[in-house]
Structure 1
């Protein structure tokens, strides 16, 4: 093992004298940068801005007496995510270092996060549910795989009911949905809605019906030619003008509408690239077997097209998740918006680095997780 590593280092990093010199210079640069960052993080940074305002970052002004509903939402999401991860990684061996790393991560969260005793117990319980859900997903892969998509879809109305209230629960106005809670909600709903609309637009652009084809082309090209911030302002200002006077859409719904309309156009072009990769012979063979056009598209064309453009689709989802930060410009206090309000607190004025590093870390964790899931899905479908 050690000899293999030394051979790899000698071959890739120290193969020639100038390659060795470049490697040493890069290591010195990395050491200098890392030392400066660590020195600032330990001696100069004021992380109290994160500890004091952690609840604002996560749930904003959501009523504290109703936090139990957000904990249930977190538990539902964590269990489904753990089961999904167990299904995807069922063929890989669960190593002791992986279990140790997960335990270490949970311990760090329990120690660092400024939570009360009850919240720490709830976080520990959710960690246990994640571990159990992952094991269930690994051991019952064949049984659970057909039900994963349906479970995620059914969880959406339950999560919205727990957050918004109604039907027996106390209602929570959308102006109290802030921080990471609003960011995840807006991103998830927009992704779920924009994907089927984008697929329909892609199919419409390749349709033989002139009206459908030209409508799809017109919509896609117009939306792609307008910046997202313009679409968001149009959704906030213009959309109510097309509705009856007694109907007023909530600001959150108008923000979702803007994200969906924008993302669907780009999603359509990604899917269209996959549709063009399907050879005409497969379509003709399917029709020769007696399948009608709808079955050909659903059973033959779309599965192969979507599989071919998984990286582009996930890239679009990641971009949509990051684009939710623009919602703060139109008055929605999501993660970036709540950061601005925290920076306005007198005792934390000028703490830009700490605040934006923290929210940047949050964005990176979610985006990188989506990327890893996409890579695993691509390998699984390729086998």
Structure 2
């Protein structure tokens, strides 16, 4: 019991709370970026894969639309059916990064910023492929008659997608999309494997130095339970709160 209380005493240090809260902020920022870009890119991929067809007789247009459709299909299937961790390591090695990230920002070193950028790129690539299939399912749930009705009103295809099809599709996929948002927040913890200073990485780093804060001079088993238990609680609160907010929005 004394050992467990010593582990809990880690949280008496004000600097540790600041350190962990910054990690939570980085996790949320990375997740929001991945979800927002994932929805935008996923929408384009889903639309291309579903509706990129040229009228018969237009040979050049048919070639272009076929190429675009195959590019979208290959992108979705490759990223969706391979592990996120694989793409994190690939981006870590091969992904270029803008020169702006060669300077210190947000209290992080240039090396940490570079790793954060590359990890975010991997998360965006993976998330957009999954969201694309979710949106495609929503598009398929909209009756084809909606498109014909739009054409009868003089709308062209882009207007039909923006004003008629996509709003209905997104309304139908809210529960599934929310599930993917929650998954993305949890999956951001994979970035801890490349020393990105998000929440989970900071918890692991704090655990490796917990002997400086628990008053025993050694790392105890209870430190593992306390710190990882705290991490699990934080992820649960964030994701459960998100679920409750969306549920209320749907009822309103």
Same fold (TM over 0.5): yes
- Residue matched to 2:224: 352
Bigger radius of gyration: 1
Instruction: Flag the 1:244–1:275 CA change in 2: closer, same or farther, 3 A.
Output: closer
- Residue segments in structure 2 that go unaligned for 5+ positions in a row: 54-64, 103-112
- Residue matched to 2:80: 224
Whether contact under 8 Å (2:79, 2:129) holds in the other structure is yes
> Where do 1:132-151 residues align within 5 Å?
none
- Residue matched to 1:88: none
The 1-side partners of 2:203 and 2:75 are apart by 35
The 1-side partners of 2:166 and 2:151 are apart by 15
CA RMSD of aligned residues (A): 2.2
The 2-side partners of 1:297 and 1:274 are apart by 12
1:103-157: per-residue Cα shift (whole Å, max 9, x none)? Answer: xxxxxxxxxxxxxxxxxxxxxxxxxxxxxxxxxxxxxxxxxxxxxxxxxxxxxxx
The 2-side partners of 1:223 and 1:255 are apart by 15
1:153-175: per-residue Cα shift (whole Å, max 9, x none)? Answer: xxxxxxxxxxxxxxxxxxxxxxx
- Residue matched to 2:235: 363
**Which of the numbers 1, 6, 19 marks the counterpart of 1:56?**
19
- Residue matched to 1:334: 198
Q: Which structure exhibits the higher relative contact order, with contacts defined as CA atoms closer than 8 Å and separated by 6 or more residues?
A: 2
- Residue matched to 1:200: 44
Task: Give the match's secondary structure for 1:232.
Answer: helix
The 2-side partners of 1:342 and 1:300 are apart by 50
1:206-230: per-residue Cα shift (whole Å, max 9, x none)? Answer: 0212122111100000101210001
The 2-side partners of 1:50 and 1:250 are apart by 30
> Where do 1:235-274 residues align within 5 Å?
235-240=91-96, 250-274=114-138
The 2-side partners of 1:214 and 1:316 are apart by 24
Task: Give the match's secondary structure for 1:226.
Answer: coil
- Residue matched to 1:318: 182
Whether contact under 8 Å (2:101, 2:114) holds in the other structure is no
- TM-score w.r.t. the length of structure 2 is 0.81
Instruction: Flag the 1:284–1:311 CA change in 2: closer, same or farther, 3 A.
Output: same
**Which of the numbers 203, 207, 212 marks the counterpart of 1:343?**
207
1:219-275: per-residue Cα shift (whole Å, max 9, x none)? Answer: 0001012100011111111112xx799997822221111110000000000000100
Between the two proteins, the alignment pairs up a number of residues equal to 219
Whether contact under 8 Å (1:50, 1:355) holds in the other structure is no
- Residue matched to 1:215: 71
